[in-house]
Structure 1
Amino acid sequence: MVFAIFYYPGDVAFCPPGVKHWHGGSADTSFAHIAVNTNPERSGVEWFDRISEEEYSQLPTEK
């Protein structure tokens, strides 16, 4: 399942550990991501499969 959550300048997002999520824009928007890691010994990145072009094109572009 793929769905979009819209954020606007000044919004703060929280994603609990272990929840699959994607950082990105839509076809007509961009996205900048800043991450702060306070415990580098316990951090790790697990890259998941890319979403398909079909899934990407179905994402809404407006809230």
Structure 2
Amino acid sequence: MSKQDEGFDYHRYRTLLAEAVDESSRLAFIDLLIEERARERLKAHSTSERLAITAKTVASILGTSRN
């Protein structure tokens, strides 16, 4: 853990973990971590697709302007 992930709220997760004193609250904490990580991955994928579409559009514009 030398470098903290951007957007990863260590303080919040440490507090939630400390409050997870029974099995149901620990499972809820695990579900929260999974859900938030899935949301981050979806956002990253969406950003990647948007950048790819933008690059393709720019390439097609530059390609047709040379003719």
TM over 0.5: no
For CA contacts below 8 A with separation 6 or more, give which structure has more relative contact order.
Answer: 1
- The structure with more radius of gyration: 2
Question: TM-score interval w.r.t. the shorter chain?
Answer: under 0.3
Q: Which has the higher helix share?
A: 2
TM-score, scaled relative to structure 2: 0.22
